[in-house]
Each structure stands twice: as structure tokens, then as C-alpha cells.
């Protein structure tokens, strides 16, 4: 896979729905005014347990392999990380549920795809919304 000229970042937040909505409204308004907006994707996870699922070592290893090698199928992804097909299939489904992996149909197989090159994790320690979501 060729190195992207402008890496896309997925910013992962925990329980900051109000902030995410406010920033989305601000970006829409800026676009309507004809302004450039930062090309950053935002994923708001509801709680710390979901963040823990995303950042498991095996999931991060799999995301890195997908981003670097763009495998043509789940089996090819399993080969890249040298793990059992069923385990990788389960991990990919989990990552799809979290919203960080998509599947594209490619004939009889599904091709796992990530639409970003970097993860930026933003955890507020003072935001009441984040704390409440963890409870």
C-alpha cells in the first residue's frame, strides 16, 4: 500500500456526545461559509469498556495490518497477523460494531477496510458526561 500524502486521523472520544454534536454543527456552519475544515473523523464511544475493546493489543495489531497492507479478504488479514481465521473474523466483526472497520463485498469474500491512518484517543478526566457514561 502506498503511503498516504495526508494521513486521515480517527479521533476516538469517550462519552462526549454533546461536544461531538457541537463540533459537527460548527463544521457544517464553516462549510456553509465556504471555509476549509480539518479532515478528521470522530468516533464517540459510549463508555470506557468500549474504549478497552478497541484498544486491545490484538485489535490494534489487526488495525495496523489492515492500514499497512490492505488485505483482499478476512483470510488474507488472518495470514498477515498469523492468527486463526475464526479469531480474526470475530475481532473484525467487533471492530465493525465499534465503527472502525467496514467490509466491502469482493465476490464471495469480504474485504476489511479502515478509512484512517492514525488513531487519536481523547479521554476527558473532568467531563461529567464521560464519567457518567462509564458508570
Are the C-beta atoms of 88 and 81 separated by less than 8 Å?
yes
Per-residue exposure over 112-121, b if at least 16 CB sit within 10 Å of its own CB, e if not: bebebeebee
Give me the mean pLDDT over the 115-119 stretch. 89
Give me the mean pLDDT over the 111-119 stretch. 91
Instruction: Give the predicted TM-score (pTM) of the model.
Output: 0.75
Distance (Å, whole) CA 35 – CA 40 = 15
Determine the pLDDT at residue 57: 96
**10: pLDDT strictly greater than 70:** yes
17-34: pLDDT as tens digits? 677 667 777 777 777 788
Determine the pLDDT at residue 26: 76
Determine the pLDDT at residue 32: 76
- 97 or 124: whose pLDDT is higher? 97
Q: What is residue 65's three-state secondary structure?
A: helix
Could you tell me the domains of the chain? 9-134 (1.10.10.10)
57-110: pLDDT as tens digits? 999 999 999 999 999 999 999 999 999 999 999 999 999 999 899 999 988 889
Amino acid at each position: 500500500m502506498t503511503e498516504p500524502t495526508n494521513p486521515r486521523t480517527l479521533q476516538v472520544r469517550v462519552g462526549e456526545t454533546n461536544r461531538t454534536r457541537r463540533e459537527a454543527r460548527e463544521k457544517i456552519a464553516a462549510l456553509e461559509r465556504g471555509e476549509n475544515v480539518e479532515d478528521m473523523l470522530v468516533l464517540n464511544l459510549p463508555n470506557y469498556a468500549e474504549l478497552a475493546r478497541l484498544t486491545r493489543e490484538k485489535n490494534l495489531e489487526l488495525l495496523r495490518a489492515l492500514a499497512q497492507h490492505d488485505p483482499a479478504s478476512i483470510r488474507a488479514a488472518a495470514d498477515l497477523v498469523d492468527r486463526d481465521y475464526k479469531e480474526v473474523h470475530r475481532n473484525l466483526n467487533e471492530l465493525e460494531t465499534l465503527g472502525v472497520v467496514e467490509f466491502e463485498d469482493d465476490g464471495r469474500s469480504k474485504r476489511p477496510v479502515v478509512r484512517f491512518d492514525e488513531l487519536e484517543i481523547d479521554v476527558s478526566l473532568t467531563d461529567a458526561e464521560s464519567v457518567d457514561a462509564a458508570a
